Amino acid sequence: MKTNMAVIDRIVRTLVAVLVAIGYFTGVLSGTWAIVLGIVAVVFLLTSIVGFCPIYALLGISSKRAKSA
C-alpha cells in the first residue's frame, strides 16, 4: 500500500480528530452528531496514522508532492 497523503494532510486530519474528541469529552458534542463525528474522527485518525486514504485512491488523487527526478 503506497501512501497518498502529505504530512500537512495527516496533521490536519489528526487535529480534527483531536478537536472532535475534546468536543465529545467536554459535552459540547452529544447525540447523533457525536456518534457521526466520532466515526469520522476515528477514520481520520487511522488514515493519518497509515498515510493512506482509500477515497483518494478511488478518485486517483494524492496530496503528496511528486518526487522530482
Residues 7-60 have pLDDT tens digits of: 999 999 999 999 999 999 999 999 999 999 999 999 999 999 999 999 999 999
Q: What is the dihedral of CA 21, 26, 31, 33, to 10 degrees?
A: -40
Q: What is the DSSP string of 3-18?
A: ----HHHHHHHHHHHH
d(CA 60, CA 37): 25
Report pLDDT for 69: 60
Split at pLDDT 50, 70, 90, the class of 5 is very high
| pLDDT of residue 1 exceeding 90 | no
CA 19 to chain centre: 12
Report pLDDT for 68: 62
d(CA 65, CA 5): 9
Q: What is the pTM of this model?
A: 0.85
Contact (Cβ atoms closer than 8 angstroms) between residue 44 and residue 17: yes
